[in-house]
Chains A and B, each alone.
Chain A
Amino acid sequence: MASQIVQISHPHGWVVLRRNRVAMLSLFVLSLLYLMSLVGPMMLPESLKSTGEVPFLPPSSGDHFLGTDVNGQDLFYRLLSGGRVSLGIGCAGAFLSLVIGTLYGMISGYAGGRVDALMMRAMEILQSIPRILFIMILIAALDGYVKDMLDVARLWAQNAQWSATERLFRDAIPYSRILVMILSLGIVEWIEMARMVRGQVLMLREMTFIAAARAMGQTPWGVLRKHLLPNLSTIIITYLTLAIPTVILDESILSFLGLGIDDPAASWGSLLRDGSQVINPIDSKWWLLVFPSLCMIISLLALNFLGDGLRDVFDPKSGE
C-alpha cells in the first residue's frame, strides 16, 4: 500500500524535470561546460599551452582569445584546464562524500537504537567544527603523506624498471594537491548526505516490503543493498547535484586563500587569486578576474538550479 503511494506521487521523474525550463537550460549549459573543459585543452594548439613571452595581453590580441596572465600563459587555455580541475574535484569530492554519507546514513538509520544515537552524536560533533576549517587542517595533514606515498610508488616503479609508470608518478607529484583536495573535501562534506539518507531509511524500514524481505531471511546487508539502496537512488542523485556546487565552492575558497590548488595546476579559484593579486586602481587587468568569475558564477548557478529542479521532482516535501 505505502509503496504504491510513493509511486503515484512520483510520476516519471524525467518527464517532470523536462517541464522545468530553467533546470533543462542548466543541464544544457553544464554539459557544454563539462565537455569544453574535458575536450577543450586537447583541441587547442600546443603553442598556446606553454608560458609565453608577453604577460598581461588584453583579450582578443592575436592568438590569445581571452588574453594572457602573469606568466604569459593563454587565459582561455588556463580557464579550460582550470575548469577540468574545478569541475573534476567537484564531482570526485561529491562522489566520495556520497559514498561515505550513504553508507553512514544507511547503517545509522537501519541499525537504530543505541548505534544510531551514537552515530548521530558523532555527526553533531563533526558538524560543530566549521567545515572550511576542518578541510584546511585535513589538507595540511594529508598533503605530506600523499606526496610521500607517490614518491614511494615512484621509487618502487624505478626499482621494478617500469619507466612509464615511474614517469607517471613523477609527473603526478606536483599535482598531488588535487588528490589531497578530493580526499579532504569528500571526508568532510558527507554529513548532509548522511542526514538525508538516514531520514529516508527511517521511513523506509517501517514499510512492509522490508519486513517481508527480513521475514524471508535476508541478511541486514542484503536488505540494505537490494531493497534500501534502490529506493534511495533518487534522493542520492538529487543531493549529489546539490553537493557538487558546495564542493566546487569550497575548493575555490581554499584555492583563493592559497591553501588549495597551486601551480602548475590551476583551478578557477586559484586563477581568481592570481587575478586579484594583480588588480590595482591604475591599471586593472580586469580580464583575469572577470572571466574566471563568469565561469564560476555560471557553473554554480546552473548546478544549483538543476539541483533545485531535481529536488522538486523527487522530494516534493522539502520545497514549499
Chain B
Amino acid sequence: MLSFFLRRLLSSIVVMFCVVSLTFVLMRSIQGSPFEREKTPAHIVAVMETQYQLNGSLWQQYIAYLVRLAHLDFGPSARYRDWPVSEILAQKLPNSISIGGVAFVIVSTLGVFLGGIAAINKDFASDRVAMFGALLAISLPGFITGPALVAIFALWLDWLPVGGWGTMQQMILPAICLSAPYIAFIARLMRNSLLDVLKCDYMRTARAKGLSETAGIFRHAAKMALLPVVTYLGPLAAHLLTGSMIIENVFNVSGVGSVFVNSIQNRDVFLLGGAVIVLCALLVLFNLIVDFCYTVLDKRIRLHG
C-alpha cells in the first residue's frame, strides 16, 4: 500500500515536471514579451524581463523557473503587477470550485441514476429516448446550451437571474450548463457497463438462487458497474473544479477557467504555469482517490506498487 502510494507520487511528479516544462517552453516561444504594451519602450521591457528572470536564453529562464518552483513559489504574475500567482489563484479557485462542485454532485448522482434506469429498461422506449437525449447533450457545446438556457429561463420565463455572481440562484444555470454533457456521458457509460455486468455468470447464479432482479442489481451488480464510471469521474472532478473556460465566459464568472484564457492572451507565463500545476495536482489527487474507490467497490483489487 505504502509502496504503491510512493510510486504513484514519484510518477506523478515526473508527469507534472514534463507538463510544466512543455507549458513553459511553448509559452516562451510565443513571439513578443509579456511586458510589451503599445507604448512601453524597449529598455523598460528589458528591465522588467530581468526583474522577472525572463531574460537570457530559454534554457536559463527555464532553470530559473524550476528553481523558483522548487522553493514552492509560483512566482509573480507578469500581467497583474504586484500580484503573486498563488494569490490570484486563491482568489479565483473558490468560484470555480463552487460551480464545479455543484456540477460534480449533479453529474455523479443523476448520471448514474439515469444510466441505471436506461439499462433496466433496455430496448424500451424510455431507454431509446434517454440515449438519444444523451447523444444530443454530448453533442451540444456549452456556448450553445448556455445562451439557450439563459434565453429560456432568465429572459422568457424570468425564473432565474441572467448573470452575475454571489447568490445561489446565480449558480444554478452555470452548474446545469456545465454538467449537462457529462450527465449524458456518465449515463451512457453506466448503462453499458451495467448491461455488461448483468450478463455475468454470478448474476445468473443470483437469479437462480431466486434473488429478485432489483435486489440483484442493488446488492451485486451496481458496485461492479460503477468501476468504469468511477474511473471517468476522477479526472472529471479535477476538470470541473478548475472551471470551464466556456461556461465562465458565457456566464461571466471570474474563475480559473478564465485565468487559463487570459494568461495565454497576455503571455503571462507564470500565471498559466501556476494554474496548470494546480490542475495537474488535482488530477493526481483524484486519480489516487479513484484507486482507493476501486478497492472499496471490488474487494479483489489490491493496491500494490
Residues of A that sit less than 8 Å from B by CB: 124-125, 128-130, 132-133, 136-138, 140-141, 143-145, 245, 249, 252-253, 256-257, 259, 269, 272-273, 276, 279, 281, 284, 286, 289, 293, 296-297, 300-301, 304-305, 308, 320
Given the interface contacts A137-B27, A297-B140, does A130 sit within 8 Å of B162 by beta carbon?
Answer: no
Closest A-B pairs by Cβ, 4 of them: A144-B31, A300-B139, A125-B18, A137-B26
Hey, what's the 0/1 contact readout for B154-184 against A, CB within 8 Å counting as 1? 0100000010000000000000000000000
Given the interface contacts A252-B141, A256-B249, A293-B144, does A129 sit within 8 Å of B19 by beta carbon?
Answer: yes
Q: Are A144 and B261 in contact (CB under 8 A)?
A: no
Q: Are B147 and A276 in contact (CB under 8 A)?
A: yes
**What distance in Å separates the Cβ of A47 from its nearest Cβ neighbour in chain B?**
31
Q: Are A259 and B261 in contact (CB under 8 A)?
A: yes
Q: Are B246 and A256 in contact (CB under 8 A)?
A: yes
Q: List 17 A-B contacts (CB under 8 A).
A: A124-B15, A125-B19, A128-B19, A129-B23, A130-B239, A133-B276, A140-B267, A144-B30, A245-B139, A253-B245, A259-B261, A276-B250, A281-B162, A284-B151, A304-B135, A304-B138, A305-B135
Additional pairs, 9, CB under 8 Å, beyond known A124-B15, A128-B15, A141-B27: A128-B280, A137-B30, A144-B32, A245-B139, A249-B141, A286-B151, A301-B135, A305-B135, A308-B135
Q: Are B249 and A257 in contact (CB under 8 A)?
A: yes
**What distance in Å separates the Cβ of A270 from its nearest Cβ neighbour in chain B?**
11
Q: Are B245 and A132 in contact (CB under 8 A)?
A: yes
Chain A residues near B22 (CB-CB < 8 A): 129
Given the interface contacts A141-B26, A141-B30, does A320 sit within 8 Å of B261 by beta carbon?
Answer: no
Chain A CB within 8 A of B108 CB: no
Counting chain B residues whose Cβ lies within 8 A of the other chain, the interface size class is: 35 or more
Q: Are B143 and A276 in contact (CB under 8 A)?
A: yes
Chain A CB within 8 A of B192 CB: yes
- Nearest A residue (CB) for B158: A281
Given the interface contacts A125-B18, A133-B276, A320-B195, does A296 sit within 8 Å of B144 by beta carbon?
Answer: yes
Chain B residues near A141 (CB-CB < 8 A): 26-27, 29-30
Chain A CB within 8 A of B136 CB: yes
A144 to B26, CA, bound (A): 13
Chain B residues near A137 (CB-CB < 8 A): 23, 26-27, 30, 264, 272
Chain A residues near B264 (CB-CB < 8 A): 136-137, 140, 259
Q: Are B26 and A138 in contact (CB under 8 A)?
A: yes
A130 to B243, CA, bound (A): 12
A276 to B247, CA, bound (A): 13
A143 to B280, CA, bound (A): 26
Q: Are B144 and A297 in contact (CB under 8 A)?
A: yes
Chain A CB within 8 A of B64 CB: no
Q: For chain B, residues 260 to 297, give those with C-beta under 8 angstroms from any C-beta of chain A.
A: 260-261, 264-265, 267, 272, 276, 279-280, 283
Q: Are B136 and A301 in contact (CB under 8 A)?
A: yes
Q: Are B155 and A257 in contact (CB under 8 A)?
A: no
Chain A CB within 8 A of B105 CB: no
A141 to B30, CA, bound (A): 4
A127 to B176, CA, bound (A): 27
- Nearest B residue (CB) for A133: B260
Chain A CB within 8 A of B148 CB: yes
A296 to B26, CA, bound (A): 31
Contact of A125 among B15, B135, B265 (CB under 8 A): B15
Chain B residues near A276 (CB-CB < 8 A): 143, 147, 250
**What distance in Å separates the Cβ of A261 from its nearest Cβ neighbour in chain B?**
14
Chain A residues near B265 (CB-CB < 8 A): 140, 259
- The CB with the most chain B CB atoms within 10 A, among A129, A252, A269, A296, is that of A129
A125 to B265, CA, bound (A): 24
Contact of B261 among A245, A249, A257, A279 (CB under 8 A): A257
**What distance in Å separates the Cβ of A16 from its nearest Cβ neighbour in chain B?**
20
A252 to B32, CA, bound (A): 26
Chain B residues near A284 (CB-CB < 8 A): 151, 155
- Nearest B residue (CB) for A279: B147
**What distance in Å separates the Cβ of A116 from its nearest Cβ neighbour in chain B?**
18
Chain A residues near B19 (CB-CB < 8 A): 125, 128-129
Chain B residues near A289 (CB-CB < 8 A): 147
Hey, what's the 0/1 contact readout for B178-220 against A, CB within 8 Å counting as 1? 0000000000000010010000000000000000000000000
Given the interface contacts A125-B15, A136-B260, does A281 sit within 8 Å of B135 by beta carbon?
Answer: no
